[in-house]
Structure 1
């Protein structure tokens, strides 16, 4: 009997269904973000962590794997070894999360895609535009599911904001402003911390630090909610604190489709700001504002009318496509772990649909795709070109 993961009579308009079993998830990279993502994946009750390549040292990988309660024979010293071994097992992983430093993303994702294993990769997708294009092509050729870790797009009220814009609730968009302010690089000696060193090494992080890490979140969120791709930018990179090999701050003027102007700012030297991601979209009839540090609420204004505050929770005008991502009632807060869990829920639905041969409606899932990840790499590349030219406009 052929295994089926999704219900026979799947209701695409209702809540996301339970699967016939938990999907098996592999972990590539054993850093802090892998723990966050694994916690979120388990929260969905649709994934179990079954294998891992948690260190390039075989003994260390087994020690780390034991901490994850993984059997020794499923703890690998390389992603190539893991891809081959898991693809050959009848109980091999259904998908992997790739949470390594940036320079490993391309080779690791390629290995699993070509082994027939679906992928969720952290951002930035790759450190080169050619590599990002290569992953788009491999994904198209293999038909695998490829999601990217833009978890900020998975907050329920962000999905609500996207729907308001799509239904012209603020009229014709006339400007878009987004910023991501953090403060963790403020200390003068921060560059010496082990978890920071690779982020400032161009061979590992790529040609940017702040832009590739948090700037891409800001750029993706702006386009995701507005529905408008960013077309052009002009950028200035700065090192505002102690000397560093890569930027800790960026200021940009941006343009989106239909010549919509905007701004994008990102920094890690803004004392008092931790999760300072803020999005503002203004249109001919109103505006939307959202702040990550107050992620449960969306400010929605129609010009000439009282402001509205839309709260995350069941009912009260929440769009059904956003409500599918809600776990608790109003007044009982959810946060970033739940946003990651929403990403892993949609990823699970996509993996199950592919395996079952189910063609879902285009609006059923909105997880960030490999193409959106590649857009992020093109955004990074354009920002580098603009900065190096002295702030010229560059087309993405």
Structure 2
């Protein structure tokens, strides 16, 4: 089983609000394994870059592909010892749990339909889990994972990387502190164009995203709609109580939706709108949020992630730039690592994610309580909420676009 950290070895100042986010609090990096993300996995390279930049982890084991040859070659690419390269995640979970120097957490970056089974295997083996979204293929699967996580006491974190941009944290804390007053309306979109033209015959990633046996009842909604909804919840603090969704194919003909229009009734009756499409020519990764309240508005665009637009009624518009001071709040400054003028972007958000989850796991293993608000990450309950959003959208669309409650 895993060896635990000795809290007596921790300096008293290690878990303070002044602690640098990318300095491992245990005096060492923790041991991390990967499932998925090998040579053919673009997302895996994003994960790995964030892991290394975070400073909290060493990647020491992996089941990087179900093809043994690809797994072995990927292990070489990642500098993983051949004896800790596995072609099966079950064998990896059993072997690593039995080692005195086994992995302390696993990152799972595999296709949607595999998430719940792999996460279950590692949680049952006593290993913390960092899991790609969506958490599961159904609400029932998600609820089972929540119950397992609660029973185990382990960490189950979802990789909603956009929420770990410094300016997203800035916006969320500004809303909490009443910077725009009571929210009166909310708008969020995620706009891409890669599904506009017919898919190439060898585009396996596009093929499985359009296969209901592998992604469930939605395609674009489960793929990018979950990011949009999570961003809305993260910054506004509001949940959807009801929604109505209409799915469309706006690009080349395909079996599942590439576009969705979703009306939202948020906490307290606040109206909202969510639009996602993968068939809008000229758009690459347009994840954008606008919130309008009684005192003003906030706008953030992940294609310009270092800027936050803040407009107070009756006052000149402000553009808050990522950095230290000049309107930045302490909770957001912890996610800032370079001076203004030196760009930080998505790799830094991934690094912040792995650092915040690293702090969470390290603190629990050391028996040390983190100060309130020191880190924020998406846990099991919030991951299940993302699955409920997907299911509600599918329920509404299949019923003709009627208003439905979130289950």
The residue aligned with 1:377 is 387
| Unmatched segments (≥5 aa) in structure 1 | none
- How far is the alpha carbon of 1:18 from its aligned partner? 3.0
2:344 counterpart SS class: coil
2:123 counterpart SS class: helix
Mean Cα displacement is larger for which, 363-372 or 275-284? 363-372
The residue aligned with 2:24 is 18
Are residues 1:7 and 2:11 paired? Answer: yes
- Within 1, Cα distance between the matches of 2:168 and 2:14? 25
TM-score (norm 1): 0.97
1:293 counterpart SS class: coil
- How far is the alpha carbon of 1:194 from its aligned partner? 1.7
Q: Map Cα deviations across residues 102-159 of structure 1 (whole Å, 9 max, x no partner).
A: 1110010011111111111001111111111111111111010111011111110110
- Within 2, Cα distance between the matches of 1:98 and 1:158? 24
- Would you say the 8 A contact 2:191–2:283 is kept in 1? yes
- Would you say the 8 A contact 1:6–1:18 is kept in 2? no
The alignment's C-alpha RMSD in Å is 1.4
The residue aligned with 1:183 is 193
Q: What are the residue-to-residue correspondences of 1:1-396 with 2, within 5 Å?
A: 3-4=6-7, 6-15=10-19, 16=21, 17-19=23-25, 20-30=27-37, 31-190=41-200, 192-396=202-406
- Would you say the 8 A contact 1:6–1:352 is kept in 2? no
Q: For the structure 1 residues 95 and 214, does the alpha-carbon distance in structure 2 shift closer, same or farther, using more than 3 Å as the test?
A: same
1:49 counterpart SS class: strand
Q: For the structure 1 residues 13 and 233, does the alpha-carbon distance in structure 2 shift closer, same or farther, using more than 3 Å as the test?
A: same
1:294 counterpart SS class: coil
2:230 counterpart SS class: helix
TM-score (norm 2): 0.94
- How far is the alpha carbon of 1:245 from its aligned partner? 1.7
- Would you say the 8 A contact 1:161–1:298 is kept in 2? yes
| Unmatched segments (≥5 aa) in structure 2 | none
- Within 2, Cα distance between the matches of 1:363 and 1:350? 12
- Would you say the 8 A contact 2:107–2:131 is kept in 1? yes
Q: For the structure 1 residues 2 and 192, does the alpha-carbon distance in structure 2 shift closer, same or farther, using more than 3 Å as the test?
A: closer
Q: For the structure 1 residues 2 and 190, does the alpha-carbon distance in structure 2 shift closer, same or farther, using more than 3 Å as the test?
A: closer
- Within 2, Cα distance between the matches of 1:270 and 1:318? 34
- How far is the alpha carbon of 1:58 from its aligned partner? 2.9
- Within 1, Cα distance between the matches of 2:226 and 2:277? 12
- Would you say the 8 A contact 2:5–2:366 is kept in 1? no
- Within 2, Cα distance between the matches of 1:192 and 1:45? 37
Q: Map Cα deviations across residues 353-380 of structure 1 (whole Å, 9 max, x no partner).
A: 1110112233121111111111000000
- How far is the alpha carbon of 1:327 from its aligned partner? 0.9
- How far is the alpha carbon of 1:190 from its aligned partner? 4.5
- Would you say the 8 A contact 2:15–2:370 is kept in 1? no
